[in-house]
Amino acid sequence: MNRILHRENLTALRSLPDASVQLIYIDPPFNTGTTQRRARMKTVRDDAGDRIGFGGKRYRTEKLAIAPNYTDRFDDYLGFLRPRMIEAHRVLSATGSLFFHVDPREVHYCKIMLDEVFTTPGVSGRACFQNEIIWAYDYGARSTKRWPAKHDNILWYTKDPKDYTFNLEASDRIPYMAPGLVGAEKARRGKTPTDVWWHTIVSPTGKEKTGYPTQKPLGILERIVRVHSNPDDTVLDFFAGSGTTGLAAARNGRSYILVDESKEAVTLMKKRLKLPLR
């Protein structure tokens, strides 16, 4: 059964049975030291407006309510994450996977912590680590003092080092960079992704955008859901935010459990997933 839980996530995790979910994806706060927020905007047709759009028509920009926001600052970041990862490991099924989405500043420390969490009698946590996926994009400002940071890191761990769900044939395919070298049939079919995923961010003006400040693209989550779970499996996200994980699960025949302690985030998720607002 699909569930959206308005709770503190450690409490929610402790209420879930052992080995009860087949896939976990989380996009926790990145410990950037800032408050994450984004104002919602819309444009209205207005001959005296401040913007010019298609065909030379003018539009007026209106600021709507402030989107959900949160303070992304922790005195002990790993101390915050570790008990949640211990519970995540407990609720993960025997053949399940955990995807941990973070940025380059914290990923090294998080990997060491996850290696420890996934170590159990007879099982090495380092052996449970399968991939570091690089999500690369190209949007936003460009630093003139260092190479601009245009990627996130996604760590993939499995409960069992050798027995886990991996349906590569269910993956979307991507174009060959040199289609003329592989022949017409291969070029038409495309190729399966590697551990570097080129995918644009959520467009600030696109239909997918919800206004949530750290929303991740649906395409990234659908790839994870399709390859690393099976139909009717349960997908868990306990930093659920805008609910993209739940939407990816629902669109692909999986159940979902979404957890967030923000009332605004829960309201947004219910609206996005077309559930009753109560």
Which pLDDT value is given to residue 275?
Answer: 79
CATH entry, 3-31+74-272, from 3.40.50.150, 3.20.20.100, 3.40.50.300, 3.90.550.10: 3.40.50.150
Residue 153's Cβ-side half-sphere holds a number of Cα atoms within 13 Å equal to: 15
pTM of the predicted structure, to 2 decimals: 0.84
Q: Provide the pLDDT for residue 203.
A: 84
Mean pLDDT of the chain: 89
pLDDT at 131 over 80: yes
Could you tell me what percent of the chain has a pLDDT over 90? 74
Q: Is the per-residue pLDDT at 98 higher than 70?
A: yes
Q: Is 152 exposed, middle or buried (0-12, 13-18, 19+ CB in 10 A)?
A: buried
pLDDT digits (tens, 9 = 90+) for 145-188: 999 999 999 999 999 999 999 999 999 999 999 999 999 999 99
pLDDT value at position 63? Answer: 55
Cβ burial of 224 (10 Å; 0-12, 13-18, 19+) is buried
**Which backbone phi and psi does 189 adopt, to 5 degrees?**
-80, -30
At 68 the pLDDT is: 58
pLDDT for position 1: 84
Q: Tell me the average pLDDT across 98-107.
A: 96
Rounded CA-CA distance 71/29 in Å is 9
- Give domain limits for the chain: 3-31+74-272, 38-72
The percent of residues in the chain predicted with pLDDT above 70, rounded, is: 84
pLDDT of residue 206: 85
pLDDT at 198 over 50: yes
Confidence of residue 204 (pLDDT cuts 50, 70, 90): confident
